[in-house]
Amino acid sequence: MSKIDSEILKWCIMYVANLTPEQLDLLIKEKMSIFGQLLSEQTILGIIASELGISLPIEVEEISIKLNQLIPGLYNLSLKLSVKEVEEIKTFTRPDGTTGQLVRVKVCDKTGEMWLVLWDEQTSYAHNLKPGMKILVSKARTTTDGLGRVELQLDKMGTIKILEEKQNASV
């Protein structure tokens, strides 16, 4: 996002949320105190927009972000994680009659744990994952599950790379 895009995004947030420039600057400073230099101003504006209920696709640069910092609506995430649990692959029928597959993988880092949800062709990654493995999840996004908890999902071009295969590895 360019500087002009950032200014347009600020204006949109102020307009839609009925904020003054001072109020928005305060929100930006609050987020900067939480994330420091980990996130760009554009990404922080995207997070603020999401928290205010303003729907925007937010792209996060490849940075060192931890599970406890994730909120719904982030895209293009790359995370180094450990596998904690791999559920069985479930097959289901969609309303249009096609068959789909789903598997949930519990992943963790030093700050917490959450589910990584793999759909359809992506479920093939689960065959090679075992508890304790270190993995690199690339091109992931955050959503919420049916109970409102944050979860990870791979985008269509997302990948999982095994970094370390030894059991009980920690990130």
Predicted confidence (pLDDT) at residue 156 exceeds the cutoff of 80: yes
Q: What residue ranges in 120-149 does DSSP mark as E strands?
A: 134-144
- C-alpha 57 chain-centroid distance: 12
Residue 120 region by backbone torsions, left for phi larger than 0, else alpha for psi between -120 and 50, else beta: left
* Higher per-residue pLDDT: 149 or 115: 115
Nearest in space to 32 (alpha carbons), one of 44, 14, 49, 20: 44
Q: What is the pLDDT of residues 12-68, one digit of tens each?
A: 788 778 899 899 999 999 988 887 777 777 778 888 888 888 776 544 444 467 888
Q: What is the pLDDT of residues 68-110, one digit of tens each?
A: 888 888 888 889 999 999 999 999 999 999 999 999 999 999 9
What is the structure's pLDDT at 58? 45
- Comparing 7-16, 58-67, 157-166, which segment has the lowest mean pLDDT? 58-67
Ordered structural domains, the chain, with CATH: 3-59 (no CATH), 74-164 (2.40.50.140)
Q: What is the dihedral of CA 53, 6, 37, 164, to 10 degrees?
A: 70
